[in-house]
Structure 1
Amino acid sequence: MSVVSLLGVNILNNPAKFTDTYVFEITFECLESLEKDLEWKLTYVGSATSDQYDQELDSLLVGPIPVGVNKFIFEADAPKTNRIPDADILGVTVVLLTCSYDGREFVRVGYYVNNEYESDELNADPPAKPSIEKIRRNILADKPRVTRFAIKWDSEASAPAEFPPEQPEADLQPDDEDYGAEEDEEADEEEGAEAAAENAGEASASAAATATDGDAEMAGVEEQGEPAEEEEISDEGSVDLENESEDELEEEVEGEAVDGGDDAMEVDEKPAADASKPQEIMAH
């Protein structure tokens, strides 16, 4: 737990000219008496491409710190333009407000700052050499980025735990073990069980179809041989047609009609048994 907590920061002169000082009203709470002072700093980021253009605008020591809620005014000078590239004076940059105790930073507040000309004409057609006196800054005070750090204060009991903590059991695991391998194995087992169930269902359906439709399958085999027999019968009929009587011909025709009807029924049964198999697979 932090001994000092930042409660709020108010920027008293915003927007302002680029050359105006920064004025912050800072409110914080101290939970116990401190042996040393708090050090506050304001840093201006001169360029996004390199930190060599960063400027510490001002720093302030605050102390001794009474227990409870405290408030003070922090003023800092504007950045020196001769230390900022001309191409980076206009546009968006950042200012950082930080606080440290005994050289250890425990809170940082970052603000975006937009630098632009006061007139639309200059913004539309800026001069090659920036006109500093005509530039104004606008700090996005309603969108600060606050970062807190755990530090050691006066007592060893306030020192933060080591990070990251030691994990000897993690060191014993093989390096080639992939993250989420257990989940993958479980998924594979479930897929294997589902596949086995589907195979078992197909096997049972196939066995049932074989048991119930054995006659139909046999009928299909007979059907393959019947056309040859019919050809023989038709050949014989053509030879003996003149010698046979009308009654005998009628009996043969009636016999063929009966046999053909049985064959047609047997052929109809087999496709019905086969058609049930895809429906059962789709249901799984």
Structure 2
Amino acid sequence: MSVVSLLGVNILNNPAKFTDNYVFEITFECLEQLEKDLEWKLTYVGSATSDQYDQELDSLLVGPIPVGVNKFIFEADAPKTNRIPDADILGVTVVLLTCSYDGREFVRVGYYVNNEYETDELNADPPAKPIVEKIRRNVLADKPRVTRFAIKWDSEASAPPEFPPEQPEADLQPDDEEYGAEELEEEAEEEGVEAAEAAGGANAAAVAADGDAEMEGVEENGEQAEEDEMSEEGSVDLENESEDDLEEEVEGEVVEGGDDAMEVDEKPVGDSSKPHEVMAH
């Protein structure tokens, strides 16, 4: 069980100019007193082809953390364009908001960011050298991807069965919980439909091949043709039945195979008390 749960993240200046700071209002809940501070970081992914262009825009420590619901403002600088390839300044990229305790990351929130020019003319015919002052960003704040990791907190009892001291492969782990569930389910359904259609086409081809073979038997032997017709009728029914069963199985797999996804702990903040304003330093 996580001692700290992320309740919500609001981006206060969105959309904004590419050169504007990122401003997040972060709300979280702490279930027990912590001995150390929480470390928050914001990372900008400069290129999809290499992580050498990733930039840590800012980091800060938040604490001491009182028990209950807490809220604070996290403001980070815009990325430095001289560290981003010109071809990757425009288009879609990602920013990652992460939180760690005692050097151990326990939650990560990823947002898609779309960078484009303010005018249609520039978007239709972008200059070879990007004009950064005329680029605006739009963070897809309503569809973040949230990943949680089990970590050891202050007590040994809170440690997971196999606690890793470091997490260099965190990006390769499947998302425990994430927004965008509807989009992921739609993709899974489309894949299931394509699989069903492919399976149906294969069955139809098999039936046609059997029919051709049986027609050749009719030309060679009249008596054998009658038996083949009876066999063909039976085989067609079996093939159709097998195809229907296969489609039902595929559809069932699509429904059951959807990614586990949900929003960030949609736990309502109690009306009886306001969130604590915690110190960031």
TM over 0.5: yes
Partner of 2:51: 51
1:7 aligned onto 2:18: no
Sort the Cα spacing of 1:279 and 1:74 in 2 relative to 1 into closer, same or farther, 3 A. closer
Partner of 1:95: 95
Report the Cα distance in structure 1 between the residues aligned to 2:159 and 2:38, rounded to whole angstroms: 17
Partner of 1:262: none
1:161 offset after TM fit, Å?
Answer: 1.3
Report the Cα distance in structure 1 between the residues aligned to 2:160 and 2:68, rounded to whole angstroms: 23
Partner of 1:114: 114
Paired residues for 1:1-284 under 5 Å: 1-162=1-162
Report the Cα distance in structure 2 between the residues aligned to 1:10 and 1:161, rounded to whole angstroms: 34
Matched to 2:48, the amino acid is A
Identity of aligned residues (%): 91
Matched to 1:39, the amino acid is E
Report the Cα distance in structure 1 between the residues aligned to 2:60 and 2:83, rounded to whole angstroms: 22
Q: Can you list the C-alpha shifts for 1:124-159, whole angstroms capped at 9, x where unaligned?
A: 000111000000000000000000000000000000
The gaps in structure 1 that reach 5 residues or longer are 164-270
Matched to 2:8, the amino acid is G
Report the Cα distance in structure 1 between the residues aligned to 2:105 and 2:96, rounded to whole angstroms: 12
SS in 2 for 1:160: coil
SS in 2 for 1:82: helix
1:82 offset after TM fit, Å?
Answer: 0.4
1:279 offset after TM fit, Å?
Answer: 7.8
Matched to 1:51, the amino acid is D
Partner of 2:257: none
Sort the Cα spacing of 1:126 and 1:35 in 2 relative to 1 into closer, same or farther, 3 A. same
SS in 2 for 1:20: coil
Matched to 1:25, the amino acid is E
Q: TM-score, normalised by structure 1?
A: 0.58
Partner of 1:218: none
How many residue pairs get aligned? The number is 173
Q: Can you list the C-alpha shifts for 1:237-270, whole angstroms capped at 9, x where unaligned?
A: xxxxxxxxxxxxxxxxxxxxxxxxxxxxxxxxxx
Matched to 1:160, the amino acid is P
Matched to 2:66, the amino acid is P
Report the Cα distance in structure 2 between the residues aligned to 1:23 and 1:108, rounded to whole angstroms: 17
Report the Cα distance in structure 2 between the residues aligned to 1:162 and 1:128, rounded to whole angstroms: 51
Partner of 1:209: none
Q: Can you list the C-alpha shifts for 1:181-237, whole angstroms capped at 9, x where unaligned?
A: xxxxxxxxxxxxxxxxxxxxxxxxxxxxxxxxxxxxxxxxxxxxxxxxxxxxxxxxx
Bigger Rg over Cα: 1
Matched to 1:158, the amino acid is S
Matched to 1:157, the amino acid is A
1:162 offset after TM fit, Å?
Answer: 2.5
1:53 offset after TM fit, Å?
Answer: 0.4
Q: Work out which structure has the larger RCO, using CA pairs closer than 8 Å and 6 or more positions apart in sequence.
A: 2
Q: Can you list the C-alpha shifts for 1:92-133, whole angstroms capped at 9, x where unaligned?
A: 000000000000000000000000000000000001110000
Sort the Cα spacing of 1:279 and 1:41 in 2 relative to 1 into closer, same or farther, 3 A. closer
Matched to 2:93, the amino acid is T
Q: TM-score, normalised by structure 2?
A: 0.59
Q: Higher helix proportion, which one?
A: 1
Partner of 2:278: none
Q: Can you list the C-alpha shifts for 1:36-61, whole angstroms capped at 9, x where unaligned?
A: 00000000000001000000000010
